[in-house]
Amino acid sequence: MKITAIEKQKKEGRYNIYLDGEFAFGLYKESIFDFGLRVNDELDENKITEIRECDETGFGKKVAYGFLNFKPRTEKEVRKKLKEKKISPKSTDKIIESLKSLKYLNDGAYAKMFVESKLLRKPQGRRMISIKLKEKGIDKEIVEQTLQDHYSEDSEIMKAKDLLNKFEKKVRAKSPADKKQKCFRHLISKGFDFDIIGKVMKPEDE
């Protein structure tokens, strides 16, 4: 098959490729340049497949880089973004592997950053953090190892105490029992487990 025309589309940087007088597919200008495509070039099916796959992968990488440039993301989040842009599963896998090899995508590093960020800004219990990380697609083993390495039980107790002290100063209650119940619900809402809360809420609070 022979390229009979290369025409610019309305979409910036995108061109229509005509083979034997008929529209065949669209390509980005980078792909045309990379493959050195010109009118009268002969293309077979294998070459066409290679060109189109490279074009899709190139576009997908641009999407991924832009997405990651805004803030760190998990592999699941990047895959979802590429799916929204209709990038094929095959190209998506290539893009993900490329991002990992270049250290742009690392779920372990993301989990560590996420935990440290939560502890600095709005402390939460290990349970809540674990749930949020898993929702972002982080592997269960990575989540558990990250929490073990960066959020010990002693640290969690300390964070729970800090939150409790701040909450006690502003909470309004009808009685000591009511106050205790409200404090309990507050810590539960922040993702702290019963055993941690039990260690934080002293006997004299009962």
Which residue range forms the structural domain that includes residue 183?
154-205
Contacts of 122 (CB under 8 A, 6+ apart): none
Within-domain flag for 48: no
Could you give phi then psi for residue 41, rounded to 5 degrees? -65, 145
What is the pTM assigned to this prediction? 0.80
Asked if 100 and 58 sit in the same domain, the reply is yes
Strands, E assignment, the chain: 3-8, 14-19, 22-28
Give the pLDDT confidence of 20-63 residue by residue, as tens digits. Answer: 999 999 999 999 999 999 999 999 999 999 999 999 999 999 99
pLDDT reading at 196 higher than 60: yes
Asked if 6 and 18 sit in the same domain, the reply is yes
| Residue in 36, 11, 7, 13 with CA at minimum distance from that of residue 24 | 7
Within-domain flag for 35: yes
How large is the angle between the packed helices 140-150 and 126-135, nearest 10 degrees?
140
Confidence of residue 203 (pLDDT cuts 50, 70, 90): low
| Residue in 122, 106, 116, 193 with CA at minimum distance from that of residue 150 | 116
Could you give phi then psi for residue 105, rounded to 5 degrees? -135, 120
Kindly report the CATH number assigned to the domain that includes residue 83. 1.10.10.10
Domain count, the chain: 4
The answer to whether the CB of 99 falls within 8 A of the CB of 68 is yes
Q: What is the mean pLDDT of the chain?
A: 91
pLDDT reading at 205 higher than 50: no
Could you give phi then psi for residue 179, rounded to 5 degrees? -65, -45
Kindly report the CATH number assigned to the domain that includes residue 115. 1.10.10
